[in-house]
């Protein structure tokens, strides 16, 4: 599956590799020479089962790179938990917080408009 590597930011392919009996995620970077694909390097991402432990400890329910809907879920969870923090008065609300929320709101609106153009 082609992806953008979270380590180096270059295009690569997500691969699962077994090492000493355990499974690990890597991004394999390739190039074409004389019409043939050639692996040039791999970026290590971590154990396949690691995200389970991260999810248990984080209210955003972080998931692995193969879950293509994770970013939408992160946004939705972050907003939900942010509202809870505000209602419990655990979060300092000031002009700076307001300005950041305005910036995020505009970014979301721009993204929604881009998606709307793509699906129209």
Strand duo 36-47 + 22-33: pairing: antiparallel
Task: Examine the domain organization and report whether 74 and 114 are in the same domain.
Answer: yes
Structure tokens at 22: 């355990």
pLDDT at 61: 67
Is residue 101 included in any domain, yes or no? yes
Is residue 54 included in any domain, yes or no? no
Task: Examine the domain organization and report whether 43 and 82 are in the same domain.
Answer: no
Residue length of the chain? 120
Is residue 56 included in any domain, yes or no? no
Residues spanned by the domain of 29: 2-48
Burial class (CB in 10 A: 0-12, 13-18, 19+), 114: exposed
Q: State how many domains the chain has.
A: 2
Q: Are 91 and 85 in contact (CB under 8 A)?
A: yes
Is residue 23 included in any domain, yes or no? yes
Measured CA to CA, the distance from residue 82 to residue 79 in angstroms comes to: 5
Task: Examine the domain organization and report whether 71 and 42 are in the same domain.
Answer: no
Is residue 75 included in any domain, yes or no? yes
Instruction: Write out the chain's pLDDT in tens, 120 residues.
Output: 577 787 777 888 889 999 999 999 888 998 878 888 777 899 888 888 765 444 444 566 667 777 778 888 888 888 887 887 787 776 778 899 899 999 999 999 999 999 999 998
| Residue-wise pLDDT tens digits, 68-82 | 788 888 888 888 878
SS3 5: coil
Task: Examine the domain organization and report whether 32 and 72 are in the same domain.
Answer: no
- Give 67's DSSP letter: -
Is residue 35 included in any domain, yes or no? yes
Is residue 79 included in any domain, yes or no? yes
Task: Examine the domain organization and report whether 87 and 43 are in the same domain.
Answer: no
pLDDT at 111: 94
């Amino acid at each position: 599956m082609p992806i953008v590597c979270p380590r180096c930011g270059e295009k690569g392919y997500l691969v699962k590799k077994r090492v000493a009996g355990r499974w690990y995620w890597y991004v394999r970077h390739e190039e074409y020479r004389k019409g043939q694909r050639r692996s040039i390097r791999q970026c290590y991402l971590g154990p396949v089962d690691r995200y389970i432990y991260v999810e248990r400890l984080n209210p955003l329910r972080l998931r692995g790179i193969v879950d293509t809907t994770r970013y939408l879920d992160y946004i939705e969870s972050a907003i939900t938990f942010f509202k809870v923090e505000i209602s419990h008065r655990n979060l300092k609300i000031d002009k700076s917080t307001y300005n950041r929320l305005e910036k995020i709101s505009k970014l979301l609106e721009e993204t929604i408009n881009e998606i709307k153009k793509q699906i129209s």
